[in-house]
Structure 1
Amino acid sequence: MQMDRRAWMGGMGATLVAAKAPPVAPPALVKPPRLRPGDMVGLIEPAGFTDDAFDLALVMETIRAMGLVPKPAAHLAQRHGYLAGRDADRAADVNAMFADRQVKAVFAVRGGWGCARILPFLDFATIRANPKLLVGFSDITALHLAFAAKAGFTTIHGPNAASSWGKFSWDAFRAVAFDGATPTFASPVGVEDRLVQRTGRIRTFGPGKATGRLIGGNLTVLAALMGTPWLPDFTGAILFVEDIGEQPYRIDRMLTQLALAGVLGKLAGVMFGQCTDCGPSGASYGGFTLSEVLQQHLAPLGIPAFQGAPFGHVANQISLPVGIRAEMDADAGTIRLLEPAVS
């Protein structure tokens, strides 16, 4: 019996790949309306809380600076332990924003933890009937993945409302959400006082170009949803993942989980973004670096794959529309949208 080479993960063992049924074309993706100046947008906290009124005031100012009108969710200022209110209340805010015809998009104020807890409470019949952009990253990944599986329309993995929104991030978001453009994204070139720049560099684990639907987000959140009904089909997708505060062995463990679940073997390409504070703690003699872990998992797949894309827990990040077809170039470290994310 012959093993599928892409099921082997760099000496970790192997899994048998079942015979694949003929691919079934996914239903047509709905494009939410683009944002326009003067639009009202909802502000939700589906995960962690913000308990400083000044911080929330800055969020309101940020939304207004975009030319939009903020509408705080009913439970925005609540707190329940480390969550922004009880699960049913946070879910009710999401449901209400998608049911409200005046609200044209929904921004998560911040991430944290808690989005997965509200998934059973979401009214996907109402959400599907009212396609509008959902914007955010980090723990908001749980919503992006669930919407990709259950709602059938584009969402945007981009800065949270409370993010810094520098020019790089704002220009990328505006191009995707307001202009309906199809830009090519690349890491900004560093301006360090060095003969050779180090920031903005990429590492290629599999050369070439790949085309597919963009699916992904935070690796920890994605791995935690394995085995649940809240994940979309990854067949032929370009997986993009990022993380923060995870040591290499934890990244190894999560990628192993994706491999054993059959996700990595279905992909057309992989983009690993920024992994902030992901070095080993203390002495690590004999340990693997993050790049070595990625090499072990991604190179054997035989598909285009690279590390260093400009998204994650960093000040400057691009906006990636989940579900949109794109082309990645693992040698150049670029991602090009092949269709608009909005109508």
Structure 2
Amino acid sequence: MNKPVLFIGARGAVFSPAGVPDPKKIANGVNFLKTWGLEIDVDPECFKNCRYLAGRDEERALHLVSLLEKPYTFLWASRGGYGSLRLLPLLDELIERIRHPVWIIGFSDVSILLNYFFSRFGLLTLHAPVISSIFEVSLCTLAVLKNTLFGRKRVFLIGEVWREGEAQGLLIGGNLVSVASLLGSRWAPDFSGKILFLEEVNEDLYRLDRLVTQLYNYGVFEEISGLALGEFKGVNYQEIIPLFKEVFNGPILAGLPVGHGIKNYPLVIGARTHLCTRYGQAYLLQDIY
């Protein structure tokens, strides 16, 4: 399904699939995005509170489905946290098809939904800052994000070589904990021939080891064609090199400016992706449209 190219006056909405958002952060993020010429609806449903979630599972799922049925060109997650995983059985029951192209935008816990909508409906989705983190990322990140939304046809990111090689395939992945939470379920993505992107925040090295081992035991690294690694905030980056080099023999591109830091450049889940870590080059290239 082709992606909508946004334009001045394009209308979208905020949704809360996981944690309870801070109303002030949402208001600030929405007001900033309006300077790009976007119109963004924020429903009170976004701010419901049920324990550590933005409403009961049924409420969050029904709100998202109601937004998908409207002629919005983008749906932007308010925040991550935890909770998207709980929506998948409900979304299976409530959604038969996606009626029109729409950007679904978010990262972290929301990467579960990004992969879900690509795997089930072939919908390309955008791994990018959530509304509440708009003011926590760099100006360069925002500039690239704006260009991507308004019709930039390619994503090009430079990283560093951890293992040489070259790979092509559709991009899947996102937050490491979130990807691992899908393994063994009917919502686990098809890893065959894919380029897998991973990032994480505030996980101790032994916990990262456990998660990578979980992916290894599931056979993920035997199926993918390439591995792209973003930021692993809160851990010495050099210490995670052995974790991935021990389990994957293909090309590994690391150090991409994507994750929970001030650099969180957009990536398109489901897009054709070329990963190159040879001939002195280290880049990830995506064709979007």
Q: Extract unaligned runs of 5+ from structure 2.
A: none
CA distance 1:34–1:218, shift in 2 (3 Å): same
- Per-residue CA shift, 1:61-112, capped at 9, x if unaligned? 12212210111134111111111111111111210111011x1100001100
Aligned residue among 46, 52, 56 for 2:26: 56
Tell me whether 1:340 sits opposite 2:285 in the alignment.
no
Asked if structure 1 preserves the Cα contact closer than 8 Å seen for 2:19 and 2:82, the reply is yes
Map of 1:1-343 to 2, 5 A cutoff? 30-51=1-22, 53-101=23-71, 103-122=72-91, 123-126=94-97, 128-163=98-133, 164=135, 165-186=137-158, 202=160, 204-279=161-236, 289-298=239-248, 301=249, 303-331=250-278, 332-337=281-286, 339-341=287-289
User: Given residue 167 of structure 1, which amino acid in structure 2 is its aligned partner?
Assistant: L
Asked if structure 1 preserves the Cα contact closer than 8 Å seen for 2:253 and 2:282, the reply is yes
Q: Distance in 1 between matches of 2:276 and 2:131?
A: 30
Asked if structure 1 preserves the Cα contact closer than 8 Å seen for 2:21 and 2:132, the reply is no
TM-score under structure 1 length normalisation: 0.78
Q: What's the offset of the Cα at 1:217? A: 0.3
CA RMSD after TM alignment: 1.8
Equivalent residues, number: 283
Asked if structure 2 preserves the Cα contact closer than 8 Å seen for 1:74 and 1:93, the reply is no
Q: Distance in 2 between matches of 1:71 and 1:61?
A: 11
Q: Extract unaligned runs of 5+ from structure 1.
A: 1-29, 188-201, 281-287
User: Given residue 95 of structure 1, which amino acid in structure 2 is its aligned partner?
Assistant: V
Q: Distance in 2 between matches of 1:109 and 1:214?
A: 23
User: Given residue 129 of structure 1, which amino acid in structure 2 is its aligned partner?
Assistant: R
**Structure 2 partner of 1:24:** none
Q: Distance in 1 between matches of 2:130 and 2:40?
A: 14
User: Given residue 284 of structure 2, which amino acid in structure 1 is its aligned partner?
Assistant: I
SS in 2 for 1:135: strand
Structure possessing the higher radius of gyration over alpha carbons: 1
Q: What's the offset of the Cα at 1:279? A: 4.7
Asked if structure 2 preserves the Cα contact closer than 8 Å seen for 1:59 and 1:109, the reply is no
User: Given residue 157 of structure 2, which amino acid in structure 1 is its aligned partner?
Assistant: F
